[in-house]
């Protein structure tokens, strides 16, 4: 990544799961100054970044700064943008858990819609003041989700031309933010790119998400919840593969374009849970099979049936393909969680999450 063209990079949500992975990659493999703008919410954690800073050289560590700022605080955001003086903004900050959006939708509107609008306004003001050379090379990279496209039937895949059809408060808020970003491109010529990714997984993910939740439930021999019939399908993407795609799109993506990023890891939830249990049988053998812990629970309200992404555009234009198979990445992820239970307990306690069911707040 020595040819990474941006000297000063602002990453929003860099204390989150995907953002933290991106920060660590850029600290290790680029010479950029990294500014991590994060409100440090319930799922935020900087342990992975702190570990990375400890491992790299002192000179590299001086290239990183954490900016504790909420995107809804416009004045603080303006000051942070002025301080960071970025050549590239990668916008990852978002409330992202569908179940929480069912219980508390306003938090998703505040963070994902108002927060994105505030960021666009602050960045636009900054960008318009840049010298011509920096203004021309500037990028605003908005990171979104495949959930904005709605739900698929048994066949077909989402691509860059798929119509938007969000079904949850979370996906609706991300769809709105996508539209805002495109509007700033068309109206103000702000130089944007957008990526829509499939479900990410890997180390350092907050334990409320499906894969870490199942791993930890299996590890503690607790009941493993499986929503409904377990036949809802997701396209799983290892976080390191996603970060590589983000860096490619930020560096080489066509201005005004969007790119769909999927892992070609299409699985039903039941298949994912059973595969985790099978690996846990080998890693942590007990008297009974871990699959005997699987318990059917009431389905999520409005649960989308199937997601699947066609990544052919980013492959043909930028040469990206996922390097990790789902099975290999899942083994790496399971091993990481087995060896980092203390971290899981710490972040769960900080986020007031006890592993219970959320997202049933429907009349």
The pLDDT tens digits for 171-199 are 999 999 999 999 999 999 999 999 999 99
Tell me, what's the pLDDT at 2?
Answer: 54
How far does CA 303 lie from the centroid of its chain? 20
| 295/265 Cα distance (integer angstroms) | 24
**Three-class DSSP category at 210:** helix
Using an 8 Å Cβ cutoff, are 146 and 196 in contact?
yes
Respond yes or no: is residue 240 known to be catalytic.
no
Q: Which candidate in 64, 170, 227, 324 is catalytic?
A: 170
* Rounded Cα gap, residues 254 and 232, in angstroms: 33
| pLDDT-based confidence at residue 1 (cuts at 50, 70, 90) | low
| Annotated active-site residue in 70, 146, 235, 244 | 146
Strands (E), the chain: 8-12, 33-38, 64-68, 88-91, 139-145, 192-197, 199-201, 224-227, 233-238, 258-261, 266-268, 294-297
Contact indicator for 152, 198 with CB cutoff of 8 Å: no
In the chain the domains, ranked by start, together with CATH numbers, are 8-206+236-265+306-326 (3.40.50.720)
147 catalytically annotated: yes
Amino acid 363: pLDDT? 42
Q: Do 191 and 120 form a contact (C-beta atoms < 8 A)?
A: no
Instruction: Answer whether 0.85 is exceeded by the pTM.
Output: yes
> How far apart are alpha carbons 96 and 112 in whole angstroms?
9
Phi and psi at residue 13, to the nearest 5°: 75, 25
Does residue 70 carry a catalytic annotation?
no
CB atoms within 10 A of CB 177: 27
Which residue do the tokens 């219970």 mark?
356
Q: For 27-64, what is each residue's pLDDT tens digit? A: 999 999 999 999 999 999 999 999 999 998 777 789 99
Give, as one character, the DSSP assignment of residue 42: T
Euclidean distance between the first and final Cα of the chain, in Å? 51
Tell me how far apart the alpha carbons of residues 277 and 287 are, in angstroms, rounded to a whole number: 13
Catalytic residue among 70, 147, 240, 241: 147
Report the pLDDT value the prediction gives residue 361, as an integer from 0 to 100: 60
Question: Could you tell me the sign of the dihedral formed by the alpha carbons of 214, 265, 170, 300, in that order?
Answer: negative
């Amino acid at each position: 990544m020595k040819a990474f063209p941006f000297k000063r990079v602002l990453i929003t949500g860099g204390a989150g799961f995907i953002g933290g992975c991106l920060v660590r990659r850029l600290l290790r493999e680029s010479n950029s100054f990294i500014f991590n703008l994060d409100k440090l919410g319930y799922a935020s954690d900087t342990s992975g970044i702190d570990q990375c800073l400890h491992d790299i050289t002192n000179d590299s560590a001086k290239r990183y700064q954490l900016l504790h700022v909420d995107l809804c605080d416009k004045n603080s955001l303006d000051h942070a943008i002025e301080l960071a003086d970025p050549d590239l903004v990668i916008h990852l900050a978002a409330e992202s858990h569908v179940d929480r959006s069912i219980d508390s939708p306003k938090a998703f509107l505040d963070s994902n819609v108002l927060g994105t609008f505030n960021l666009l306004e602050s960045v636009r003001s900054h960008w318009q003041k840049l010298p011509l050379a920096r203004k021309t090379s500037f990028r605003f990279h908005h990171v979104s989700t495949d959930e904005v496209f709605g739900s698929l039937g048994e066949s077909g895949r989402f691509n860059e031309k798929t119509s938007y059809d969000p079904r949850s408060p979370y996906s609706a808020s991300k769809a709105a933010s996508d539209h805002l970003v495109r509007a700033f491109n068309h109206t103000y010529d702000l130089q944007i790119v957008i990526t829509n990714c499939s479900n990410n997984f890997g180390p350092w993910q907050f334990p409320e998400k499906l894969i870490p939740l199942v791993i930890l439930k299996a590890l503690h021999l607790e009941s493993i919840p499986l929503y409904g019939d377990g036949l809802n399908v997701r396209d799983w993407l290892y976080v390191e593969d996603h970060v590589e795609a983000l860096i490619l799109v930020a560096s080489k993506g066509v201005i005004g374009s969007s790119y769909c990023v999927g892992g070609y890891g299409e699985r039903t939830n039941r298949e994912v849970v059973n595969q985790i249990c099978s690996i846990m049988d080998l890693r942590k053998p007990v008297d009974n099979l871990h699959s005997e812990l699987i318990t059917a629970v009431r389905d999520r309200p409005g649960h989308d049936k199937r997601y699947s992404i066609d990544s052919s555009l980013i492959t043909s234009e930028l040469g990206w393909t996922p390097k990790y198979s789902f099975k290999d990445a899942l083994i790496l992820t399971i091993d990481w969680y087995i060896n980092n239970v203390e971290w899981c307990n710490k972040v769960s306690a900080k986020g007031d999450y006890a592993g219970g069911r959320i997202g049933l707040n429907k009349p």
